[in-house]
Chains A and B, each alone.
Chain A
Amino acid sequence: MRQSGLFIISFIFWLLLTWSAEPGSIVTGLAVAAMSTLFFGRYYFHGVKKLLQPKRYFWLVVYLFIFIWECIKANFDVAYRVLHPKMPIKPGIVRVQLNIRSAFARTMLANSITMTPGTIAVDIVDDNMYVHWIYISSEDPVEYTRKVSGRFENYIKKIFE
């Protein structure tokens, strides 16, 4: 039952990707979705319940806009550092405290951090995430935790946990 979520999502993805309503294509899509659910179903979704709460979708949309905005800002920042003749970079790996428990939410947070220019999530050990940062703007752990993960953490918590 809990795997039906993955089945539906992969089937919708197939429909979008092929964008045709021919019977042959739909049957193939069903077969492929069923197969991927069979093989990978146990890695995803520990409950379908979360998929049915509209509040989470609302926060997802809000989060998308914030993420895109942060992404654009950081893109310009990195482009500036790359093009500046003196290259004002202060790279390094910082340790960031995580407040999120569930593995899926952590994955999404790491993905968001990696996708934002200037930061790459390198590893997660226990409750710490190690992040490579191209410009470490402050030496204070609280300050850079807020800057790296704080801007996403609250939203991710609301969406996935």
Chain B
Amino acid sequence: MNNMSDLTVIISTILIATGILFNLFGCVGLIRLPDVYNRLQSATKCVTLGTCSILLGVLLRYGFINTGIKALVAIPLLFFTATVAAHALAKGSYRFGIRLGEKSIHDDYKDEHDQDKKE
């Protein structure tokens, strides 16, 4: 029994550590990447695996009681809110007139956007 709980503690610690590491990568990307859209990628993305594994680690650590279940329920909440926010920010900044950075090699959305403006 004691071994079992030791194992859970180790796994949950690994999960939480991985989560923090990926959140850190997300922050590094936020600083290093060139334009709004790429930064958005980094800000919302590394956070998915990062925050989700922190929450899973919390779930393992506390088990299926009050705290653990709340951590589990937070994952789908995060899934929907983070994606909608990222999508809205990306579309909003494009509409606002912020162009893709110099490194970009492809922009199919431009035609669509210009058409909208003429109408």
Contact = CB atoms under 8 A, between A and B. Distances in A.
Nearest to A14: B73
Interface residues of A, number: 39
Interface stretch (A27-35, A41-49, A112-120): A112-120
B17 interface: no
Interface in B37-85: 37-38, 40-42, 44-46, 48-49, 65-66, 69-70, 72-73, 79-80, 82-84
A159 interface: no
A82 B33 contact: yes
B109 interface: yes
B28 A82 contact: yes
B42 A111 contact: no
Interface of A (DSSP majority class) = mixed
5 contacts: A75-B46, A91-B100, A92-B106, A93-B106, A114-B87
A149 B35 CA distance: 24
A82 B44 contact: no
A120 B86 contact: yes
Interface of B: 22, 25, 28-29, 32-35, 37-38, 40-42, 44-46, 48-49, 65-66, 69-70, 72-73, 79-80, 82-84, 86-87, 90-91, 94, 100-101, 103-110, 112
A103 interface: no
Closest 4 interchain pairs by CB? A92-B106, A117-B45, A82-B29, A95-B108
B87 A19 contact: no
